[in-house]
Amino acid sequence: MRNPFDFPEMELTERAVRVAMKGILIAVVFWLVFLMCALGTGLWILGRSLSVW
């Protein structure tokens, strides 16, 4: 374990990168969930309209 007060700028950048990556990961997960929901709803509507025919 290295001294956190050795390079405060480096430490801040690492923390910022970690936070940014976590934010991107959360955004991607939410986007995937939204995409799945939209796809499922679209398929469900398509299936219902086809079954009506």
pLDDT tens series, the chain, 53 aa: 566 556 566 778 888 899 999 999 999 999 999 999 999 999 999 999 888 76
Report the Cα 36 to chain-centroid distance in Å.
13
- Would 38 be classed as within a structural domain? yes
33 in a structural domain: yes
The one-letter code for the residue type at 39 is: L
The model carries a pTM of 0.56
Domain count, the chain: 1
| Contact between residue 29 and residue 36 where contact means Cβ atoms under 8 Å apart | no
Are 28 and 21 in contact by the 8 Å Cβ rule? The answer is no
* Residue-level pLDDT at 22: 96
pLDDT for the residue numbered 53: 60
The pLDDT of residue 11 is 76
pLDDT recorded at residue 14: 86
Domain annotation covers residue 20: no
Task: Tell me whether residue 50 is in a domain.
Answer: yes
Q: By residue range, what is the domain housing residue 51?
A: 29-53
In a domain, 8, yes or no: no
Candidates 36, 34, 14, 16; CA nearest to 26 is 34
Residue 36 lies in a domain: yes
